[in-house]
Chain A
């Protein structure tokens, strides 16, 4: 079976934080202890919605050393394929669910002398766990958190109360913005940047850091891509000798799994590279949406990341 090990959990608490974000707490069904994790890790939540099984990654935001429960915060996306809406409307306290073991694609580099965190919106969640981890180790960090408004500023009160000197909040609707030039200028040698938020914010921070001579290795980012719906298409799986149909609302990876073919995956969000699949034949256009493949690999149409990418054209044959 692909992916990380699975854990059976029960939903023990659901707390709506604001109009868009709700927090869920999971405890193991067997009453034991959960695996510990490191700040920045995510879990893949399996959602059984009738005939559809969705598996969406969410950053763990609880204390990494608290093995009694995991918590995640889910932002409702009305335009998406329904995973977050399912969490918001169909999950109740007492429900049993399946999570994956934690996987970390956004870990702290503990060699850093200072950790400079930049969050946008729901991108705050991995930092909540990282801050708990760093506080235990007496780490040197500061957080710059941009959100749309006070009403939508998840965890702002908690953060500014517990860390009044290290947390800086910026509200879009009050025309407050992170002054990135000033922020990145004069940081002590050995500072690492961590950015989690919308793609535009990640590109902005990475671009500015590169321009100012920050090493690539000192800039860490995480952006989960939710698979986007798209036109249905047909795929031939060469090794399993199957022809499958990918529906409008499902990802290529989900369609491969639905056909009973075991395909590797980890993040299901175009970031980790586990699901990379060779293209045997492609007569048409692959819509590459991941940020794993290099630009030349994308242009060559010889590889595809089935968790987020789609196809439009006559024939697509995969080495799977």
Chain B
């Protein structure tokens, strides 16, 4: 079990929950890496009979365990970006009574939640559970480029090269935290990078 207790923070910071099986006509479960364990934790044969699992292993070794649950549909993809058009299509054809379960990294949950919200599901009705890496999906507020899987603070924007301070300020629309230039006043004066929660 890889669970992480996020320290208390500003209101903007997302609060992830714990998955529970809820009544519904259909169930869409989207997970990456260690998120597989959260699905295994709530899976029952009845639930799986109406469940579509979309799983992105990212090097983890849980796909067979999920497949063994014999969900109604199972998809394993190489990356979130590769799975995105499938998720969009599933939501486009879905009906009310669909339950959405997201689990794994914050980047995966945030992006999939944004799609589900756009499809018309109230964000408070989308279940989430954080598992695995605490790396963040960051948006550079200067160039607007997104840097995935940021583990240190500060970090270098993968688009414009600025040194960015990792904020807890989060955007549901972008599914990203905000990164702000840390040495704007005094270029070159950059604190040593350390883990985000260290």
Contacts and interface: CB of A to CB of B under 8 A. Distances in A.
A188 B124 contact: no
B119 A213 contact: no
B121 A189 contact: yes
Contact of B25 (A112, A212, A215, A217): A212
Contacts of B121: 189-190, 215
Contact of B95 (A111, A112, A188): A188
B108 to A, nearest CB: 20
Interface string A167-191: 0000000000000000011111111
Given A112-B120, A113-B120, A212-B24, A189 B125 contact: no
A213 B24 contact: yes
A118 to B, nearest CB: 14
B120 A185 contact: no
Interface residues of B, number: 17
Q: What's the dominant secondary structure at chain B's contact region? A: loop
A135 interface: no
B95 A210 contact: no
B91 A217 contact: no
Interface in B86-117: 91, 94-99
Contact of B99 (A184, A191, A213): A213
A218 B122 contact: yes
Nearest to A211: B23
Q: How many A residues are at the interface, by size bracket? A: 20 to 34
Contacts of A112: 120
Interface in B64-98: 91, 94-98
A246 B170 CA distance: 52
B23 A215 contact: no
A216 interface: yes
Contacts of A217: 122, 124-125
Given A113-B120, A212-B23, A212-B25, A191 B125 contact: no
Given A184-B97, A217-B125, 13 more contacts: A185-B97, A186-B95, A189-B96, A189-B98, A189-B119, A190-B121, A212-B23, A212-B24, A212-B97, A213-B22, A213-B24, A214-B96, A215-B121
Interface of B: 22-25, 91, 94-99, 119-122, 124-125
23 contacts: A113-B120, A184-B97, A185-B25, A185-B95, A185-B97, A187-B95, A189-B96, A189-B121, A190-B96, A191-B96, A211-B23, A212-B24, A212-B25, A212-B96, A212-B97, A213-B22, A213-B24, A213-B96, A215-B121, A215-B124, A215-B125, A216-B125, A217-B122
